[in-house]
Every structure is written in structure tokens, then in C-alpha cells.
Structure 1
Amino acid sequence: MNPRAALLSLGAAALVVPLLLGDAPPTGKPKVIRNDLCIVAPATPYDPASGLPMIAPRPIPAGARCPVCGMYPARHPHWSAQVIFRDGAVHYFDSPIDLFVFLQRVDHYDRRYTRGDVIARYVRDVESGQWIDAPAAFFVQGSEARGPMRTADLPAFASRDAAAAFARRHGGAVVAAAQITPAVLQGLYRGAPHQH
């Protein structure tokens, strides 16, 4: 193909592709292109061969991605969290704050599920690294500790005493899971969650 024909083909494609994608033809005014498409990996299915009960917390696979921020939770084991659905599938999170953001709008991040499908929520005790039931955990809000996204987060603890000791060393206030409201999350969450 000669260079002139190649340019004409490219010009035609520039006009036809937007029409096929439902965009209007160029009007001389630059179009704002939004880069808000994000494809979240589906929840990791339950593997009965693992020997773990379906409702038990699971080890985080190295390739698992947080459905809220896209980070790799296995890289931040003491901050990680997970949610298990009725069918045994699990989503992993790089921090407690992303778990709570996810729980506010489950079907926004994964259209296959709703909040009613969630049967278990776990966070890691920041000090011991053990999985703990998120609704029974205590968190420190407003401490100097920074989570995996290098912003304010919610370090989790199995006991109020451990959370209070952490707060004395690093600042902040101890809160129970039930106190983590959308307003609290809005004040803490400085990440750039994917737009779904």
C-alpha cells in the first residue's frame, strides 16, 4: 500500500471507529477521554481440596488484586483483609479501609454479589499477623501509621487493650467495626479507587 492510501485508511478509521463505539464524529472541539474503565478479577473460588472450611480465612495468593484499589494484598500481609461469599469465593484487600469501602457498595465492585452474599469478613491483627473476625476487631483511627497506600488507614487488633496501646504509641482513637461509617471512610480514604 502506498503512503497516501495508508494515510487515507487511517483517516477513515479515525472517523468510523468512534461511530462503531457509539461516539459522535469529531466536531472540531476536543473530546474529553475518560480513563475510568477497570476490569476487576473475579473473586477467587473456594477450593474444597484446600482442606479449609468454606468460611475460614484463606492464605492470600501472590497474584490476587484488591478490587477497590488494584494493589496486591499479599505484598502487605499485616494490613490485608478478605471477604468470603456464600458460595465460598473470596476477595482480598490490601488494607482494612479497602475492605470497609468495598462493603459499602459490594455490587459496585463485583456485580456478581451483594452485601447479603457476604458471610465472613477478616482483617489481620497488625501486630501478630493472625486473621481476626472484622466485626469483632478493634481499629485505630487517626494514627500516624500509614497503610500500604502510604495514607491514613485503620490498623486492626484482636483486643481493645492492644489497640489502645498502639494508639498511645502512634496517636489516634480506638474504634469498633460498627463505628466505621461512610463518613469515617470518606475522611480517611485518600486513595484513588478504580471507577467501575
Structure 2
Amino acid sequence: MKRSLRLGTRGVIHRLAAWLLIFSLSSVWAESLQLPAPGPKDTCPVCGMFVSLYPDWVATVVYQDGHAHHFDGAKDLFKYLLNLPKYAPGHNRDDITRIGVTEYYGLSRIDARAAWYVIGSDMLGPMGHELVPLGSEEEAKDFLRDHRGRRIVRFDDVTPLLLEQLDQGKFD
């Protein structure tokens, strides 16, 4: 009896470890980023739209002092980050503690630096052609295929030229 209990416990532990590994690799169980939600009067500092009207697209920057700026999509978030003197005079990129985007499939808030972005798809955001955030490379590849996307980019791949091309509907 003691032997079968020990083997049973070992089997449970092995199964539990396998499930934990599977879940940790899945973006469905990826750790959500804790970010404040935009209020009804919060406007995007880039375009001026009311952010809370587009909860599926919200992106957020949080500073060390706790204040946050919200955006109606990843595209405006990147415009902001790439030109802080224009959109946030007096703010410094080094003072940013969290940058989050809403991932497409699970609608959870994830770290913008860890996201995978599809551009040139048939899915339009509040401001037109958008960087669609996904939680994993596999999800990005599926979205690219399912929504006729042009390519996948990462956080550091986003440039002012890429954002300009998105605004113009060009994805070369």
C-alpha cells in the first residue's frame, strides 16, 4: 500500500509538472500586466480620441510616480514612445515603469515589449491600420495567416517610418 501511494504521488507530481510547463508556455496563461484602466474622460495624447470607447485596443504607459497615459491602440502608443518631446513634454522614457498593450485573442493586458505585432492585416483598429498585439509567436503566425497580414514585428522593430507606412496603408 505504501509503495502504490508513493508511485501514485509521484505520478501526480509528474502530471502536475507537465501541466505547469504546458500552461507556462501558453499565452492564455501568460501573466497579465497590472495596469490602470482608462476612465471615461481619458483621451489618447496622440490623437485625442476617448480611449475607454475601445477597450479591445487599449495600450498604457505608467510612470514611476504612478500616473498613466492611455492610447486607443498600439500604433499611437508607439508614436508617443518614439516622440516623447512632442506628445509628453517633460516626460522621460527612463521614468516609464510599465508599457502594456491589449493582446488580440484573450484581451488581456500584456507587456508591450514581450508582444508580437502583426501589421498589414484586414483587422482595423480605431485609427485604421494597426499593429495587432499577440501574446506569442505562434498566435502571431496564426493571426497573420487568418487575417492576411503582411508581416510580424517586435517592439524594437517599430520605427517612425513603419508607423507612417501603417497610416498610409503601405506595408513594404
Give the corresponding residue for 2:141: 164
Hey, what's the Cα distance between the residues in 1 that align with 2:167 and 2:67? 26
TM-score, normalised to structure 1's length?
0.66
Query: What is the aligned partner in structure 2 of residue 91 from structure 1?
Result: 69
C-alpha distance in structure 2 between counterparts of 1:76 and 1:127, whole Å: 15
- Tell me if 1:56 matches 2:34: yes
Question: SS at 1:92's partner residue?
Answer: strand
* Cα distance, 1:161 vs structure 2: 0.9
Q: Could you tell me which residue of structure 2 aligns to residue 179 of structure 1?
A: 157
Q: Partners of 2:51 and 2:133 in 1: how far apart?
A: 15
**1:189 and 1:85 mapped to 2: Cα distance?**
27
Contact 2:80/2:88 (<8 A) preserved: no
Cα deviation 1:136-166 (Å, max 9, x = unaligned): 00000111111102x2101101111111111
After superposition, residues 2-151 of structure 1 pair within 5 angstroms as 56-149=34-127, 151=128
- After superposing on structure 2, the runs of 4+ consecutive aligned residues of structure 1 that deviate more than 3 Å are none
The structural deviation recorded for 1:88 is 1.1
Identity of aligned residues (%): 34
SS at match of 1:136: coil
Correspondence for 1:155 among 109, 115, 132:
132
Deviations 1:6-59 (A, max 9, x none): xxxxxxxxxxxxxxxxxxxxxxxxxxxxxxxxxxxxxxxxxxxxxxxxx93112
CA distance in 2, matches of 1:90, 1:189: 25
* Match in the other structure for 1:188: 166
Secondary structure of residue in 2 paired with 1:128: coil
By how many angstroms is 1:64 displaced?
Answer: 0.6
Gaps of 5+ in 2: 1-32
CA RMSD of aligned residues (A): 1.4
**Alignment match, 1:193:** none
Cα distance in 1 for partners of 2:104, 2:41 equals 22
Q: Greater helix share, 1 or 2? A: 2
Give the Cα–Cα distance (whole angstroms) in 1 for the partners of residues 91 and 109 of structure 2: 23
Shift of 1:83: 0.3
Shift of 1:107: 2.4
Distance in 1, matches of 2:46 and 2:119, equals 20
Please give the alpha-carbon distance, in whole angstroms, between the structure 2 residues aligned to 1:97 and 1:141.
10
Query: What is the CA-CA distance between 1:168 and the residue it aligns to?
Result: 0.5
Number of residue equivalences: 135
Return the structure number with greater strand share: 2
